[in-house]
Structure 1
Amino acid sequence: MSFLLFVRSPTVLGGTLASCLLLSACSAPAAPVVTPPIIGPDSTVHVAAGTQYLRGPIHRFFWGKHYRQVWATPVTAPVFNLRTAVPGGLTPIQEGGSFQTRNLRLLDRNGAQYVLRSVDKDATKALPESLRDGPIGRLMKDQTSVINPYGAYIVPPLAAAAGVYHTNPRLVYVADDPALGPFRESFANALYLFEERPEGDQRAVSSFGRSAKVESSRKVFTNLVYNPKHRIDARWYLRARLFDMWLGDWSRREDQWRWASFPASGGATVYRAIPRDRDHAFFKFDDGVFTHIIGWVKSNYQSFHQKIRLGDVEGLNRAARPMDKSLLVYLTAQDFQQVADSMQRSLSDDVIRGALALWPKEVYAEAGAEFDENLRGRRAQLPAVAARFYELLAREVEIPGTDQSERFVLEPTGPGQLRVSVYSLAAGRPDSLTGRRTFDYRQTRSIKVFGLGGNDSFELRGLPDHRFEVGIYDGAGQDVVELMSPTSVAGKAANVMVYDSGDGNTIKVAKPVKVESYVPAATEFDAAGWLLRHRLF
């Protein structure tokens, strides 16, 4: 969670409230000493994920009820045996994880990788060491209770029904096993989710599309902006994103994804999204006085209720916005509605009940009825959420090229309509259409086209409707910008600006098209710069 940054900002909270935060944190009891369960001959244990999150009524009033009771409820889990978990056993090879989740990477005899992901979290690792054991650290650790510790457990059957790739986590208990080797002290005596690691050759895993090559976001986005033969299956990604919203999973940064690659005609590669890390699905944050105030200011901290806040779909998707703007740029409103309608039909009441039945009976008794009601209520909203999601992305559009040569054609097709087509250029071959979309001024007010690298051409086949604000950014290379016809469809002066970096471009335009000299920002210049928008360079 990025909760840390908010707590440390008294200018946001105000002095009085900040003082209350610290007083509440100081009054929070220290975490109890947890005694490891006795491992019996049946190779199962009965253990709670986090009794330390139980708090008294005053603390809950100010800092939320959250999922504290679920954390404190003992569940039955099988003891994980590295020697027998998969045929030939597993070897621990590397510790990893984010600022809050501890991961242990495991390798089987065939080179396939798996991972143990801690059920309990500790976001205090993001703090300086001097603060970790103080009031801020204790408060930060306490707010781990906003996460349902078993949320990821029910996602696979829901994702399969929705047509979304997924990992297959299993709840296990890791005992004090000598086979952990040097990782024994750090990982023994705790609950984990054991799952496949989506990387490399996954032809044996149907939930990863049986892809022969699963790659990281950094690798895939680099391929996308360096070579137009690489492309994303945009409708597949949209389906995954609507599924995120249905689950209330707001933390969907680039590193929360892997990508299944598939060969396509002409030597092309198509990527399909594999969401991973469901720690923030089913988030429950706004049920305390202070957390409600924080959630009102930090609109990405949206709780998993029966209704999705249609007025703040932007906040729910803020973490993934750079990805959404890049990867969904050629999809239409009809695409969004078709995907939403399809998902709504697929996520039946039986599917929801079947997924919740996978929970340990103790967890289902605590949260099953609430989740059933919430998932059905949010399902009914999927078409409306998709429509709002489209509206937000359509307002200000950014269309990137690659570091190869492209031809961008901007062509008015009627009053208030502008069609943008992007073609890949290759010597000795016809231009290849890589993307096209027609924009309507009632939905879109700004269209920015970025040539990035390569020697690109920009063709204005008429002046766009003046209600569009059009920006042409040349980027690297020697580019050509040409107004093919000065006629304005709407009969009024167009609102087009050509940004010329002055590196040898040829610009053939007449009024009212404006030309402005500029120094490109790194994120506007070439493929490497574009990756900065995705925090991947």
Structure 2
Amino acid sequence: MLCVSCSAPATPTGPPPTIAADSTVHVAAGPQYLRGAMHRFFWGKHYRKVWAVPVEARVINLRTAIPGGFTPVREGGSFQTKNLRLVTRDDLEYVLRSVDKDATKALPAQFQKGMIANLMKDQTSVINPYGAYIVPPLAKAAGVYYTNPRLVWLPDDPALGNFRQSFANALYLLEERPDGNQRDSPNFGRSARVESSRKAFTNLIYSQRYRVDARQYLRARLFDMWLGDWSRREDQWRWASFPAAGGTVYRAIPRDRDHAFFKFDDGVLTRIISWFKTNYQSFHGKIKLQNVEGLNRAALPMDKSLLAYLTANDFQQVADSMRQQLSDGVIRQALQVWPQQVYNLVGPEFDAKLRQRREQLPAVAAKFYELLARDMELPGTDQAERFVVTAQSRWQLRVQVYAMRDSRPDSLLNQRTFDARETRSIKLFGLGGADVFDLQSVPDARIALSIYDGAGQDTIQQHATHTKASLANITVYDSGDGNTVRVMPKKIKVEAYKPRAEEFDAAGWLLRHRLF
């Protein structure tokens, strides 16, 4: 039963619009997740009590919530979350995201009913239904972009039109949709153009004019780990673009915090499952360093591409600054955003865990760097690049990537010195364009170097020899489409090969990012 009152719940501070409401309701997000002791023993306590407690939510009227109202335009969402996109009279976009989830849609049709479906639906209780609600003040303090979810109850509103049957009488998070012109949104950096991951990555690998603010992305990724948010695949991001010298720089906007504060391994059977599904990392007070790899598996293709030129010092500087910014006061204030009923259940627990995890950020950053540094992939673009490889010492290898200009000197795009004590392999991908791979000096075998020519007629040339051929560990993969290869065969292996799609050009490289 819904209880109507006139008081308004606490909501996160953020940009307009302010949602008008004549009333509020008291409603539980998911009382069906309450289970008996035996079920909880095997399948976990999770956040069942949080799902079952009634909280206060604003009743939203789509026509009067803001001046000009909201117009529903499109249904969307993933296998779990049901979304409804809304637009304002100023063409700003918002989205209603269902608080309750239904993962059974990911199952084959024959399994979407019955015991398997019921168990899968029951595991929605691993999610804190109000977890996303406390993220904005934490993200703001950490220097990470964020959306501003507001808890609303959508009644059987005639303004829903054709969406009325599917969306009426349910609890939602209403938040800005990061897309297009966001000059009035400080939480998106006031970017005049926010783009999807598909658009941003297409630009990044087709043209040298685009780049990502890697340190800002790293900050967002460490913030993910602090929250225990393991579901950070490419579609969970948008990209705020800004003019920069010679082109455009992108800064990351995380979205969809459904899997932040995940609590899975507190049942006998769910704990066993977590041994095999190592990406299902639970939100504990301690981040186990051996679990950092699993925690970041979903975002690995992005991390390898976007963080390739950051050093261990960069990782530590970002982690240290975040540790200072996420003070005890910031954490306490963020938790006060929750409805009092929710805070009473899990507020003190979250306060303690967030403070414990904050202290681990430098160690987690070091482990994250170690994992990424092990095997490096350095792509070019579909424009012409020159890759310069220089042995700095027996242990160190420097890679510099230049943009090749017809009538101007080559321009340095990226560079990094790799150490064999951290890195065991480096792969260079020319992708498109007439690229040049200059081996200024041949490194020894401590780092395996592979060169993939990709599309275009490339040049691979060796400028110096090595005193011992046995110490070289370099392989040139020649697709045989008119490349010029000038290397000493006894020192550098040349192998004919047929490039896989993701090794060939920019369009193929997007396959690594699950965007095609």
| TM-score using structure 1 length | 0.92
Q: Is the 8 A contact 2:4 2:26 kept in 1?
A: no
Aligned to 2:286: 307
Aligned to 1:88: 68
Counterpart CA distance in 1 for 2:275 and 2:60 is: 41
Aligned to 2:166: 186
Shift of 1:491: 8.5
Q: 1:433 aligns with which of 385, 389, 412?
A: 412
Aligned to 1:475: 454
> What is the correspondence of 1:191-202 to structure 2 with a 5 Å cutoff?
191-202=171-182
Aligned to 2:475: 497
Deviation sequence 1:84-139 (CA, Å, 0-9, x none)? 32221111111110001010100000100001100000011112333222111111
| SS of equivalent residue, structure 2 residue 309 | coil
> What is the correspondence of 1:90-239 to structure 2 with a 5 Å cutoff?
90-239=70-219
> What is the correspondence of 1:311-460 to structure 2 with a 5 Å cutoff?
311-460=290-439
Q: Is the 8 A contact 1:49 1:71 kept in 2?
A: yes
Counterpart CA distance in 2 for 1:176 and 1:365 is: 31
| SS of equivalent residue, structure 1 residue 198 | coil
Counterpart CA distance in 1 for 2:44 and 2:212 is: 40
| SS of equivalent residue, structure 2 residue 412 | strand
Shift of 1:465: 2.2
Q: Does 1:291 align with 2:259?
A: no
Deviation sequence 1:457-487 (CA, Å, 0-9, x none)? 0000111122110000101110000001113
Counterpart CA distance in 2 for 1:179 and 1:152 is: 27
Q: Does 1:506 align with 2:484?
A: yes
Counterpart CA distance in 2 for 1:373 and 1:418 is: 43
> What is the correspondence of 1:15-26 to structure 2 with a 5 Å cutoff?
none
Counterpart CA distance in 1 for 2:108 and 2:445 is: 52
| SS of equivalent residue, structure 1 residue 533 | helix
Deviation sequence 1:475-528 (CA, Å, 0-9, x none)? 11100000011135x895210011100000000001311111111111101101
Shift of 1:296: 1.1
Amino acid in structure 2 at the alignment position of 1:274: I
| TM-score using structure 2 length | 0.96
Deviation sequence 1:131-174 (CA, Å, 0-9, x none)? 22211111110000000000000000000000000000011111
Q: Is the 8 A contact 1:153 1:359 kept in 2?
A: yes
Shift of 1:331: 0.3
Aligned length in residues: 500
Counterpart CA distance in 1 for 2:49 and 2:176 is: 29
Deviation sequence 1:315-336 (CA, Å, 0-9, x none)? 0000000000000000000000
Q: Is the 8 A contact 1:404 1:454 kept in 2?
A: yes
Aligned to 1:67: 47
Counterpart CA distance in 1 for 2:109 and 2:464 is: 64
Deviation sequence 1:362-408 (CA, Å, 0-9, x none)? 00000001100110000000000000000000000000000110000
Q: Which moved more, 1:171-180 or 1:276-285?
A: 171-180
Deviation sequence 1:62-82 (CA, Å, 0-9, x none)? 000000000000001111121
Counterpart CA distance in 2 for 1:275 and 1:255 is: 9
| SS of equivalent residue, structure 2 residue 283 | coil
| Cα RMSD for the two superposed structures | 1.1
Shift of 1:425: 1.0
Q: Is the 8 A contact 1:417 1:465 kept in 2?
A: no
Unpaired runs of 5+ residues, structure 2, are 7-21
Query: Among the aligned pairs, what percent are the same residue?
Result: 71
Aligned to 1:247: 227
| SS of equivalent residue, structure 2 residue 495 | strand
Deviation sequence 1:161-206 (CA, Å, 0-9, x none)? 0000000001111111111111111111111100000000000100
> What is the correspondence of 1:252-271 to structure 2 with a 5 Å cutoff?
252-266=232-246, 268-271=247-250
Counterpart CA distance in 1 for 2:58 and 2:501 is: 51
Amino acid in structure 1 at the alignment position of 2:259: H
| SS of equivalent residue, structure 1 residue 414 | coil
> What is the correspondence of 1:509-524 to structure 2 with a 5 Å cutoff?
509-510=487-488, 511-524=490-503
Counterpart CA distance in 2 for 1:536 and 1:291 is: 31
Shift of 1:38: 5.7
Deviation sequence 1:262-284 (CA, Å, 0-9, x none)? 01122x01000000000000000
| SS of equivalent residue, structure 2 residue 392 | strand
Which 4+ runs in 1 deviate beyond 3 A? 38-42
Counterpart CA distance in 2 for 1:334 and 1:242 is: 15
